[in-house]
Amino acid sequence: MVTTYIRRAYSSFVAHVFDIPARLLAFLLFLTLLFIPFAIQNTYYLRILILANVLAIFAVSWDFLVGRTGQISLGHAIFFGIGGYITALLSSSKFFGLPIFLTIPIAILAACIIALALGIPSLRVKGPYLALVTMSFPLILAALLKWYPLNHIFKGEFGIRGLPALVPRLDWMTIGQQRVGEYYVTLILLFAASVILYKIANSKIGLVFVSILDDELASKACGINVTKYKLMGFMISGLFGALAGCIQTHLLRFANPPMFALTLSFLPVIVTFLGGLGTIYGPIVGAYIYYILDSYVLRDWLPRFLKETVGVTLPPEFDFAKLLIFTLIVLILVIKLPRGIAKFTTDKLGDLEEARDLDERGPRIWKTYKKKEKTTSTGSEPTASS
């Protein structure tokens, strides 16, 4: 009797942890991404997908922090910028000139330690207040970088330039081949980052994170060191955020103050809500949607379409309107499709498999199992139901 219970619970438990449709979709997505360079020969378009990979890593790290540990950060650019600037300073031939396979890990480690310090406010303030506090961090750092007395180090607005490339172009390589190399390097890093974060989110640690998100006091009553886990959440998230910053720095071969800009703090928010909060795979889908919309539609297709059919040339200020357009899209999504596009799709896939209870209110590791037929209760145990 007990063993059947346990066995049934265990099998459905596994079915929940290893969310099959999500896994299938993730696998198909990865396969598609793997073969994209063969389909796209245009180096400009490939470049955009490379940047999408970087943004995806960055957004996944944000999603982990916000969707899984409940610490709202609107200053995620700080990790991006810190990672980028540290590897820039260490690898620049004008300063230390270290190889990037050393500087990137050092930068990530340093960002982890800084994340620990940045996590401290999260112990005191919550929700929107924490969002505001975190938002100010990158702005302060950006101001510091532009501060005149430090110009001989950080070079102000100009930034640190002429850095070693992520994938150096060897003598025999064409630009296209270098791009393909960059694409695969970023893709592998994205894959590694999301798998690691997914594993953490679905381990006991991930369970503890959700419990803290739900009720901090009750977590404490369960013997959980809430302080430790909150800081751990910041560190893990900061690690991957910094990784994204490092990669972009060596892709573009410079680090400049806009790496700390508000736009960069909001991008992961937009992208994550596009894909689905708390899902890990959602932000990846979101990052691709964002870049496709941004580069192919808004930058390429729309101006051409307007020029050819209406005869209007878009002013350069249109760039500013883009963020507004994306914010609007996200607003509509939050209202109409609160689970995000990717989550919506996997849930639909899941519906085909079995009736699932869909959660619209927040992240969840264990989806609920709607039992198709209520098992008739045996014995005289009282069952309280609401």
Partner 1 sequence: MSPLHLLEIKNLTKHFGGLAAVDNISFQADEGEIIGIIGPNGAGKTTLFNLISGFLKPDSGTMKLRGENITGLEPHKIVNKGIARTFQVVRPFRHLPVIANVMVALRSPRGARKIEWLKTIERKAADLLEDVGLSEMMLEPAENMGHGTLKRLEMARALATEPDLLMLDEPFGGLNPLETDFLTKSLMRMHLDEPTRCILIVEHKLYALMKIVSRVVVLHQGEKIAEGTPEEIAQNDRVIEVYMGKGIQDA
Task: Return residues touching partner 1 (CB under 8 A).
Answer: 2, 5-6, 9-10, 12-14, 17, 203-204, 207-208, 210-211, 213-215, 217-226, 357, 359, 361-366, 368-369, 375, 377, 381-386
**Residue with Cβ nearer partner 1 (30 or 366):** 366
**Residue with Cβ nearer partner 1 (68 or 250):** 68
Interior angle at CA 187, CA 194 and CA 46, nearest 5:
140
Q: Is residue 314 a contact partner of residue 94, using CB atoms and an 8 Å limit?
A: no
**Residue with Cβ nearer partner 1 (181 or 363):** 363
**Residue with Cβ nearer partner 1 (171 or 381):** 381
Q: What is the CA radius of gyration of the chain?
A: 23
**Residue with Cβ nearer partner 1 (309 or 378):** 378
For the bound state, the minimum distance from the C-beta of residue 208 to partner 1, rounded and expressed in Å, comes to 6
**Residue with Cβ nearer partner 1 (309 or 377):** 377
- DSSP code string of 217-248: HHHHHTT--HHHHHHHHHHHHHHHHHHHHHHH
Q: Is residue 75 a contact partner of residue 138, using CB atoms and an 8 Å limit?
A: yes
For the bound state, the minimum distance from the C-beta of residue 4 to partner 1, rounded and expressed in Å, comes to 11
For the bound state, the minimum distance from the C-beta of residue 362 to partner 1, rounded and expressed in Å, comes to 6
Within 8 A by CB and 6+ apart from 189, the residues are 53, 57, 243, 247
**Residue with Cβ nearer partner 1 (215 or 319):** 215
d(CA 340, CA 334): 7
**Residue with Cβ nearer partner 1 (212 or 251):** 212
Specify the pairing of strand 356-357 against strand 160-161.
unpaired
Amino acid at 382: P
Q: Which residues of 157-186 are buried (b: 16+ CB within 10 A; e: fewer)?
A: eebbeebbebbeeeeeeeeeebbbbbbbbb
For the bound state, the minimum distance from the C-beta of residue 125 to partner 1, rounded and expressed in Å, comes to 19
**Residue with Cβ nearer partner 1 (16 or 299):** 16
- Adjacent-strand bridge partners of 160: 255
**Residue with Cβ nearer partner 1 (152 or 374):** 374
For the bound state, the minimum distance from the C-beta of residue 223 to partner 1, rounded and expressed in Å, comes to 4
For the bound state, the minimum distance from the C-beta of residue 271 to partner 1, rounded and expressed in Å, comes to 23
For helices 281-291 and 43-63, the axis angle rounded to 10 degrees is: 140
d(CA 145, CA 150): 7
Amino acid at 173: M
Q: Is residue 71 a contact partner of residue 230, using CB atoms and an 8 Å limit?
A: yes
- Adjacent-strand bridge partners of 368: 357
For the bound state, the minimum distance from the C-beta of residue 55 to partner 1, rounded and expressed in Å, comes to 28
For the bound state, the minimum distance from the C-beta of residue 228 to partner 1, rounded and expressed in Å, comes to 9
For the bound state, the minimum distance from the C-beta of residue 5 to partner 1, rounded and expressed in Å, comes to 6
Torsion sign over Cα 220, 224, 228, 230: negative
Distance set, CA 19 to CA 181, 281, 308, 323, 364 (Å): 32, 12, 47, 33, 11
Strands (E) in the chain, as ranges, are: 160-161, 254-255, 356-357, 368-369
For the bound state, the minimum distance from the C-beta of residue 202 to partner 1, rounded and expressed in Å, comes to 9
